Every structure is written in structure tokens, then in C-alpha cells.
Amino acid sequence: MKIVITGGAGFLGSHLCDLLLENDHHVTCIDNLITGSVNNIAHLINNSNFKFIKHNVSEYIYLSEDVDAVLHFASPASPEDYLNYPIQTLKVGSLGTLNSLGLAKKKNARFLLASTSEVYGDPKISPQKEDYWGHVNPVGPRGVYDEAKRFAEAMTMAYYRYHNVNTKIVRIFNTYGTRMRINDGRAVPNFLSQAIRNDDITVYGTGNQTRSFCYVSDLIAGIYKLLNSDINEPVNIGNPVEFTIIDLAKEIIRLTGSKSKIVYKDLPTDDPQVRKPDITKAENCLNWEPKVNISDGLKKTLEYFRKNIKN
């Protein structure tokens, strides 16, 4: 297939480029590099099946060639990023989604939206199933990301129902792995970089809030299965093994042999207290489940961080 990936130079997008090329697809990566990096795709530049276009997909997307699938992954994704780029986050979730869907419609291509567990907000039920509508503060600081993705889902379903575009929606839960930025701002890169430098590890709130961490290779495998499925409704992809943030910090200290101490800071506004996917739908409909445990995944990620971090 000839596949377009918006945000293809980002953490997830670049891994997706790799998998698609390994499966003999042609990939056009579109990214404005606001949070992505050419370093993530540098190894692909000489691949004849790969093309990179620097472009902001919140503006009109024009491609002359045929397209079989459009995967919309463009968006700031960490709290630090979408708090620094609130307007850009809202634009890429609304205008970027509209432009990407428009490209899919024009080319008669299938469309896959990278959504997020943040559509559930600070959930009142756990684990979170796809039929849960969420508990989101639309005017809080995190609302720029949460509501951008909720709007993107609504727009995607409208194109499916009204224009008969073959759409898919993946709700991505906390994912980690190689190519995460050192200053990403999320728990795993924060804790790893702090532990490697023997700096204090900053835990927000009591540390008893939970997350479920999925290694990037597992997530990408699930997304590829969804792309090739006949499912049009949202699907959770993530690892259902739940960790408290304090336990994650302790595990990373143990794994790195760090001298870091844990310090506590105030919990950010609207920070979710629980996050755990119900992956029954993915298991039954995609025959997918995560394979990499947290210890093995962290070791792979630690190796990458040690090579790239500046002490």
C-alpha cells in the first residue's frame, strides 16, 4: 500500500514508518517537526519506498500520487508539549484531522486516527472500556489535548457515517520506548533521565496514581492489525498491567542503580488518578495482546537513554 503518516517523525510515527516499510509498503511521512525529529527517520532517508515532506497538516495537504491509507499521528502528545503549544494542539486535532480525512476521502483511502486514553479524562471507572464516555474538564489546562482528540474522534466518525470513509480509531494508552525525547515530560523519560544523572526523581502528588505502560513495539503491532481490520469503532491499545507512579520510580532507581532520591511535588491540575485499559475488544477482534513486560521494556529504553543523554 501507499501510506501517508502525519507526525511520522515523532516517537510513535517513526516506529510506525519502520514497521510499514518492513512490510513492503510505500510510506510518505509528513511532519512540521514541532515535536518530531529528523533523527527519528534519518535511517530511512535512503530507502526508495520512503519520502519525507516537511509540512504543517493544520494547513491543506496536497499530494498528486495515489494514496491507499492515511494515518493521522500528528499532535503534541505529552502534557509539557501541549501546555507549551495549546493552540497548535487544538488546531492539529481539529484542522489537521479535517485535512487528513479530506485527503483520505479524495484518494478513496482508509483512515486511521491516533486517539488517546486522555479522551477518558480523569475516569470514574476502571478499567476503561471503549463505551465509557469519559470525565473531562473542557476548560482546564489539559482540555486542549483531551478535547482536541475527542473532537477528532467525532469528526472521524462523521466521515465514516456521512462520507463512507473506511475509518479506524486507536485509543493509545501510556506508551514508552526508544526514540522518546529526553525532555519529553512524561513519567518514564523523566524518571530515566533523572536516575541516569543521579538527580532527584520528581513524583507529582502522592505517587499512588496509576498508569499502564505499553512498550512501543507492542503498540505499533496492535495499530497495524487495526489498520488491516474491518473495525470502524474505537479500540483501546495498551498494556492492562497497572503500576503506581511511585512503584515505577522505585523500579527505575533499582534498574539503573541510581543514587537518586524521590521528591514530591504538587499534582498538576486534572491529572488522572487511574489509567488502565480494558483490551478485551483488541484481544477478541484483533487477536492482539502486549508481549513485552515492564522490566524488559525499561531495559531497552534505558539503553537508548544512556546513549543519548548528556550527563
| Residue 50 counted as domain residue | yes
Average of per-residue pLDDT across 7-14? 98
pLDDT of residue 37 exceeding 80, the answer is yes
CA distance linking residue 164 with residue 298, whole number of Å? 41
pLDDT of residue 21 exceeding 80, the answer is yes
* Sign of CA pseudo-dihedral 303, 305, 308, 311: negative
Q: What range defines the domain where residue 6 resides? A: 2-175+215-237
Average of per-residue pLDDT across 25-46? 97
The residues that are catalytic are 145
Instruction: Categorize the per-residue pLDDT at 185 as very low, low, confident or very high, splitting at 50, 70 and 90.
Output: confident
pLDDT of residue 311 exceeding 60, the answer is no
Do 169 and 251 fall into the same domain?
Answer: no
Preceding peptide of 127 cis, ω within 30°: yes
Do 161 and 182 fall into the same domain?
Answer: no
pTM as predicted: 0.96
Distance of CA 190 to the CA centre of its chain: 17
CA distance linking residue 147 with residue 145, whole number of Å? 6
Between β-strands 69-72 and 210-212, what pairing exists: parallel, antiparallel or unpaired?
unpaired
Q: Are 16 and 72 in contact (CB under 8 A)?
A: no
Average of per-residue pLDDT across 106-115? 98
Do 229 and 196 fall into the same domain?
Answer: no
pLDDT of residue 136 exceeding 80, the answer is yes
Average of per-residue pLDDT across 167-187? 95
With cell 511535588, the residue in question is 265
Q: Are 7 and 36 in contact (CB under 8 A)?
A: yes
| DSSP letters spanning 188-234 | HHHHHHHHHTTPPEEEETTS--EEE-EEHHHHHHHHHHHHTSS--SE
Which pLDDT score, from 0 to 100, does residue 132 have?
97
Which pLDDT score, from 0 to 100, does residue 267 have?
87
Average of per-residue pLDDT across 89-102? 98
| Residue 297 counted as domain residue | yes
What percent of the chain clears pLDDT 70, i.e. is strictly above it? 99
| Residue 285 counted as domain residue | no
Query: What's the mean pLDDT when you consider all of the chain?
Result: 96
Instruction: Categorize the per-residue pLDDT at 119 as very low, low, confident or very high, splitting at 50, 70 and 90.
Output: very high
Task: Supply the CATH number for residue 271's domain.
Answer: 3.90.25.10
- Please provide residue 117's backbone torsions phi and psi, each rounded to the nearest 5 degrees: -65, -15
Question: How many domains is the chain partitioned into structurally?
Answer: 2
Instruction: Categorize the per-residue pLDDT at 270 as very low, low, confident or very high, splitting at 50, 70 and 90.
Output: confident
CA distance linking residue 102 with residue 45, whole number of Å? 27
pLDDT of residue 168 exceeding 90, the answer is yes
pLDDT of residue 310 exceeding 80, the answer is no
pLDDT of residue 176 exceeding 70, the answer is yes
Average of per-residue pLDDT across 90-108? 98
| Residue 282 counted as domain residue | no
Which pLDDT score, from 0 to 100, does residue 188 have?
95
pLDDT of residue 160 exceeding 80, the answer is yes
Query: Quick count: other Cβ atoms within 10 Å of Cβ 157?
Result: 16
Q: Who's near 72: CB < 8 A, 6+ residues apart? A: 6, 7, 57, 96, 97, 100, 101, 111, 112, 113, 114, 152
Instruction: Categorize the per-residue pLDDT at 16 as very low, low, confident or very high, splitting at 50, 70 and 90.
Output: very high
Do 232 and 245 fall into the same domain?
Answer: no
What is the identity of the amino acid at 1?
M
| Residue 13 counted as domain residue | yes
| Residue 129 counted as domain residue | yes
Which pLDDT score, from 0 to 100, does residue 210 have?
92
Residue 223, C-alpha cell as written in the block:
495499530
With cell 525529529, the residue in question is 37
Do 67 and 136 fall into the same domain?
Answer: yes
Read off the pLDDT of residues 209-223 as tens digits, 9 standing for 90 and up. 999 999 999 999 999
